[in-house]
Amino acid sequence: MNLKNSYNRVKAVSSADFDSEVINSSMPVLVDFWADWCMPCKMLSPIVEEVAEELADRLKVVKVNVDENPDLAMSYGVQAIPTLLVFKDGRVVTETVGYLSKKALMDKLGEVIK
């Protein structure tokens, strides 16, 4: 797999484009709340990118830097990072906090995307 391409699958979003990219998305969206200084976030990032590549036809994946977008983190109750929220039809349908394996993430996503 070409990792360079998978990095393009995960888009950074901010408060300015969150509604258009996440809330109004026609497909489910996995939102990765993270920060540069967070080691578990850095460990989870390659897994999130692999999932974005593998599920590109059924799932949109975006990242939100909590240091740059504290309002988004606050409005969705993000108190620890990494936090992964899955939105479907503009609503949060599942949430995980902390590092998880690719299998655990895929299992969690399997509950949401068919």
Decide if 71 is inside a domain.
yes
Residue with tokens 């399997």: 110
Decide if 39 is inside a domain.
yes
Decide if 114 is inside a domain.
no
Q: Could you tell me the residue range of the domain that residue 53 belongs to?
A: 3-108
Stated as kind and residue range, the H or E segment containing 45 is helix 39-54
- Counting the structural domains of the chain, the total is 1
**28-82: per-residue pLDDT in tens?**
999 999 999 999 999 999 999 999 999 999 999 999 999 999 999 999 999 999 9
Beta bridge partners of 91: 88
Cβ–Cβ < 8 Å for 62, 32? yes
What pTM value is reported for the model?
0.91
CATH number at residue 88: 3.40.30.10
**Among all residues, which ones are annotated catalytic?**
38, 41
**Class of residue 39 by CB neighbours under 10 A (exposed 0-12, middle 13-18, buried 19+):** exposed
Query: In angstroms, how far is CA 6 from the centroid of its own chain?
Result: 14
